[in-house]
Structure 1
């Protein structure tokens, strides 16, 4: 497979469909008339790129293994990502009305229901990894699943996404150091850790060797930061109809962003350099890593 000929759109559509089928199966285990399940379904099945689980799949493939064994971790990570979006949208956080072109969970239901739907998605994600046999035909052994739970919980909690979110909220305060170093720290935790663990979890699930995992983690760290830089750029230049959410909110809220600190043009160049570094990190991988290379390119060329 030549990376120049790799059909990323087809790959993304196939893997999105696969992930969506399993996510749907997970929630179909419960009474669909329950308000909690309806709220979870509303946010989890609202669409989205499924970038994180697809990165897990692509990492497993890059290691030359059957990616189906990574699906429990893939689904768990997407559930945790969706939980974070539900809570991000709440009035106490970003106070958004739209997500993926639909009313945010608290607008569709209520703030209390949205909080609980997010909580339930996060906790059930770890149940999926610990007891995958209810949904999945193949899955990692118990020792590997324990490692996955450790890695993903670290990426989502005190050492990752939750800490990044509170740093992001504190960045509105005037006493915060409004610097590029601080902004990188925010996004390394808030966005980067989950993207990195997505790639790492795919490799760990299939039993990849430590050196392969190390290189994939470097790749993921670079892609994760580039993803956030592009998000900041799209908040200025993006089309709300394509993105499914409002633009211009960062400037309106005087939010710390890459364009605000280093300018729009330098932000674009910075994202390009990060992607170059990401692709270089996996340069010794063969054509099985072409999906990862194509996803890296997509990160800086996306419109939503």
Structure 2
């Protein structure tokens, strides 16, 4: 298994995170965008609290590195990455609400509904979700030094993100997750749930980079398959952390899945089985990148990082 903790990879991950954070700060500036009337201060502060709170920025990182795989490493990819991160952060804000997972901590900080209130958290999530599509749809979101995707590619990105985030993707997966607390699904049901709730945005992140780079359909499909493999790996690693790590390490409450009787593959098959599956998924992800030779090295390291992460 390729080592994911090599200094060069960690440095790249941190550098990319800083790039993404800078772009997100620009998008969440006080100044209203064209067509907006004003940006309420409390709502904007709640949005910033939910977005500018650290984290590895894994999903936007995947957009950037998938685009770089095909020689496109510019501002257009960064803009798409920031839009995706807005959707991801909206989902975290809403998942933390009392009606959902009822969490008090996120990345070691109070969740948005704790730092502000439930209404502000709901509106912050709503605003981030709509901002993401604003970013993708507006030509001026792609800085002039980078031509950005064509109108057709922008449409594909909007549609792809909508489907990854909506009823047939992340939001639908969250609904299945809540239903699973009342009626435990079988293994196939758990895999479907996780592919939607966690995997859909990760899969989109990988394909989005290929779309930005104007890659062919075969490459896009390969990157999508890669995203599916690491998406399942991410959820397996997350479920393992829930039973093995402490809140201080992961920056949020742990042991909640077991306490709530949530359906996970770890609960169904055990820790040893899950670790073997995790190793197999990483190997699958690496094999999918084999045609790209050394150029796929960074994405291979991402797959390993996901499996070995401690938080």
TM-score normalised by the chain length of structure 2: 0.93
Could you say what the CA RMSD is over the residues aligned between the two structures, in angstroms? 1.7
2-side partners of 1:294 and 1:155: how far apart? 24
CA distance in 2, matches of 1:279, 1:227: 15
Does 2:62 match 1:55? yes
Deviations 1:183-213 (A, max 9, x none): 1000110010100000111110110111111
Q: Matched residues in 1 for 2:44 and 2:166: separation?
A: 24
Contact 2:79 2:141 in 1 (8 A): no
2:270 matched to 1:263? yes
Q: How far does residue 6 in structure 1 lie from its aligned partner after superposition?
A: 7.5
Structure possessing the higher relative contact order (Cα contacts under 8 Å, 6 or more residues apart): 1
Gaps in structure 2 of 5+ consecutive residues: 33-38
Could you tell me how far apart the structure 1 residues matched to 2:240 and 2:143 are? 39
- Alignment length, in residue pairs? 301
- 2:120 aligns with 113
Aligned-pair distance for 1:132?
Answer: 4.5
**Superimposed CA distance per residue, residues 245-276 of structure 1 (whole angstroms, 9 cap, x where no aligned partner):** 11111111111112110001101111111111
Consecutive aligned runs of 4 or more in structure 1 exceeding 6 Å deviation: 2-6
For residues 272 and 8 of structure 1, the distance between their equivalents in structure 2, rounded to whole angstroms, comes to 20
SS in 2 for 1:207: coil
Answering whether residue 34 of structure 2 is matched by residue 27 of structure 1, we say no
Distance 1:15 1:210 in 2: 27
Structure 2 Cα separation of the partners of residues 280 and 272 of structure 1? 12
Give the TM-score normalised by structure 1: 0.95
In structure 1, distance between residues paired with 2:141 and 2:290: 38
Instruction: Please say if 1:14 is aligned against 2:28.
Output: no
- Counterpart in 2 of 1:159? 168
Structure 1: any 5+ residue segments left out of the alignment? Answer: none
Counterpart for residue 233 of structure 1: 240
Whole-Å Cα distance in 1 between the matches of residues 74 and 248 of structure 2? 34
